[in-house]
Amino acid sequence: MERRQSATTLRGATLIGRLRGEGSDRPRVDPGLAGGLRDWLEDELAAPVAALGDQNGPVRVTKETLNQVLVCESHLVARRGAPRRMTEELARGSLVDAAFRQWITTGRLDDPWADSLAAMEATGDSDGVVAFVGALPSARRHALADELAAHGAVLTAAWPVPSPTWLARTQERLTVPLAGGRIVMSGVVDLAFGAPSSGNASVCIVEVKSGRRKVEHRGDLHLYALMETLRSGAPPFRVATYYTATGELDVEPVGREVLVGALHRVHCGATALCRLAAGGEPARSPNALCGWCAGLASCPPGRARVEMTSGGAPPAGAAGGLTDDDEVEDTAVEEDATWVSP
Query: What pLDDT, in 10s, does the model give residues 266-281?
Result: 999 999 999 999 999 9
Q: State the pLDDT at residue 311.
A: 62
Q: Are residues 136 and 189 in the same domain?
A: no
Asked whether residue 89 carries a pLDDT value surpassing 80, the answer given is yes
**Residue 269 covered by a domain:** yes
**Residue 289 covered by a domain:** no
Q: Are residues 184 and 257 in the same domain?
A: yes
Q: Which of 255, 281, 307 is the last residue of a domain?
A: 281
Domains identified in the chain, total number: 2
Asked whether residue 124 carries a pLDDT value surpassing 90, the answer given is no
DSSP string for 105-169: HHS--S-HHHHHHHHHHHTT-TT-HHHHHHTS-HHHHHHHHHHHHHHHHHHHHHPPPPPGGG--E
**Residue 181 covered by a domain:** yes
Q: State the pLDDT at residue 101.
A: 94
Asked whether residue 252 carries a pLDDT value surpassing 70, the answer given is yes
Q: Are residues 182 and 261 in the same domain?
A: yes
Q: Are residues 121 and 187 in the same domain?
A: no
Confidence of residue 315 (pLDDT cuts 50, 70, 90): low
Instruction: State the average pLDDT for the chain.
Output: 86
Asked whether residue 233 carries a pLDDT value surpassing 60, the answer given is yes
12-65 pLDDT per residue, tens: 888 988 888 776 778 888 989 999 999 999 999 999 999 988 777 899 999 999
Of the candidates 327, 322, 338, the one whose C-alpha atom is nearest the C-alpha of residue 76 is: 322
Q: Are residues 96 and 29 in the same domain?
A: no
Q: Are residues 153 and 168 in the same domain?
A: no
Q: Above pLDDT 70, what percent of the chain?
A: 87
Cα-Cα-Cα-Cα dihedral of 170, 2, 22, 193, to 10°?
-10
Q: Are residues 178 and 60 in the same domain?
A: yes
Q: Which of 158, 181, 201 is the last residue of a domain?
A: 158
Angle (CA) 247-191-17 rounded to 5° is 55
**Residue 183 covered by a domain:** yes
**Residue 325 covered by a domain:** no
What is the domain range of residue 112? 88-158
Length of the chain as a residue count: 342
Q: State the pLDDT at residue 331.
A: 38
Q: State the pLDDT at residue 22.
A: 77
**Residue 336 covered by a domain:** no
231 in Cβ contact with 176 (< 8 Å): yes
Q: State the pLDDT at residue 341.
A: 29
Mean pLDDT of 256-261: 95
**Residue 32 covered by a domain:** yes
Q: Are residues 202 and 276 in the same domain?
A: yes
Q: Are residues 169 and 276 in the same domain?
A: yes
Q: State the pLDDT at residue 326.
A: 55
Asked whether residue 329 carries a pLDDT value surpassing 60, the answer given is no
Q: Are residues 182 and 54 in the same domain?
A: yes
Q: Which of 281, 298, 328 is the last residue of a domain?
A: 281
Q: Above pLDDT 90, what percent of the chain?
A: 60
Q: Are residues 168 and 58 in the same domain?
A: yes
Which range has the worst mean pLDDT, 1-10, 142-151, 159-168? 1-10
Mean pLDDT of 311-331: 49
User: Which of the two residues, 166 and 149, has the higher pLDDT score?
Assistant: 149
Mean pLDDT of 239-244: 94
**Residue 247 covered by a domain:** yes
Q: Are residues 179 and 57 in the same domain?
A: yes
Q: What are the CA-CA distances from residue 136 to residues 173, 180, 220, 298, 313 (Å)?
A: 31, 46, 31, 32, 27
Mean pLDDT of 121-128: 87
